[in-house]
Structure 1
Amino acid sequence: MKNYIFTSERLGFRNWKNSDIDFLFELNSNKEVMKYFPSTQTKEQCEAFMNRMQNLYYKTKFCYFLVEELTTQKSIGFIGLSEQTYKADFNPSIDIGWRLHPDFWNKGYATEGAKASLLYGFQQLKLKEIVSVAPIINAPSISVMNKIGMEKVNEFNHPLLAEFPNLEKCVLYRKSNTM
């Protein structure tokens, strides 16, 4: 078994390795996966993201972790926590997010992984609050937010999505640490 930072029933969470770049590029260049984002990503953008996540983990002990299925050790996507600092009245914040390869959709992995990430953030890191943001049209992610016990707080126009009218209107969900 690999050295995971934490696990859930079916998933292992770890920091990124340079050898993960091909999987990340396959994920982020998939039009269906990136349906609720402004565009797919280039390999260079994926490398920058991966480096940001690696550095964030070394600094804070969290990131959007690479997630593997425990039984097969196949990469399924990423799930975890990240710092958000874009201009919004709730930032700076710690955000929970996920992105899975289509082969792993509709199996409960996003919900399972997000619950495990919340536990990690609250129990291990002692975070006070975790937020989640998605465009209003992203019903699958909003469904996960509800399933993991987050509460809708607000709707807002995302400043980084101002040039994308179909994505700009977003929801903000929040969960406080009660542990």
Structure 2
Amino acid sequence: MSGNDTIDYLFNSERLGFRQWTDADLTEFAAINADKSVMEYFPEPLTEIQTTAFVAKQQIQMLTHGYCYFATDILQSGEFIGFIGLSHQDYTSPFTPATDIGWRLKKEAWGQGYATEGAMRCLEYGFKQIGLTDIIAVCPVVNLRSENVMKKIGMEKRGTFRHPGLKDYPDLENCVCYGYSANHFKG
């Protein structure tokens, strides 16, 4: 019997299940957010309080927009590995307001293609189920791993910009933006 028999997934990819957040995710997600290697391209690791606020924001986005950065599990085991999903972004930039696709996985889940697989499935969900017309992805230019995922899922580079939320972090402030339009999606 697998660990996901009672989990109500919103949708699946081949190996991953995407679902709404629960309070049961907080401890494991706080551990992911406290890992300095996972948070290498963020100003600092998140505290438990910041993690709780992040999850609450995702729950609100799900109610408001019908999507969020989804809690993500490995289907075979039911193991929670972090998030992959969509989030409304309205900070000031040439690319916003927009829907962003993003991912944050625990280090043990890296290098197995989960971010790429999950991001492709979330693009499909966003375009085909939600009816979005455009999705962006943003990361600091130094975050080559995330930029590589953006390329693997077929996004096109739209430019660079200085992220207003990172102005106090000169090593992270310069960000790249990739995008995907629904009329070009081949998923």
Q: Fold match, TM over 0.5? A: yes
SS for the counterpart of 2:67 is coil
Gaps (5+ residues) in structure 2?
A: none
Q: 1:97: Cα distance to partner?
A: 0.3
The equivalent residue for 2:35 is 30
Select between 31-40 and 85-94 the one with higher mean Cα deviation.
85-94
Q: 1:86: Cα distance to partner?
A: 0.6
The equivalent residue for 1:154 is 159
TM-score by length of 1: 0.98
CA distance in 2, matches of 1:105, 1:97: 14
Whichever residue aligns with residue 82 of structure 1, its letter is S
CA distance in 1, matches of 2:57, 2:172: 24
Count residues with an aligned counterpart: 179
SS for the counterpart of 1:174 is strand
TM-score by length of 2: 0.94
Q: 1:75: Cα distance to partner?
A: 0.3
* Identical-pair percentage: 46
Residue deviations 1:132-156 (CA, integer Å, cap 9, x gap): 0000000000000000000001011
1:67 maps to 2:59 = no
1:80 maps to 2:85 = yes
Whichever residue aligns with residue 39 of structure 1, its letter is E
The Cα RMSD (Å) is 0.8
Gaps (5+ residues) in structure 1?
A: none
Select between 53-62 and 8-17 the one with higher mean Cα deviation.
53-62
Whichever residue aligns with residue 46 of structure 1, its letter is T
The equivalent residue for 1:114 is 119
Residue deviations 1:64-109 (CA, integer Å, cap 9, x gap): 0000000000001100000101111221100000000000000000
Q: 1:58: Cα distance to partner?
A: 1.4
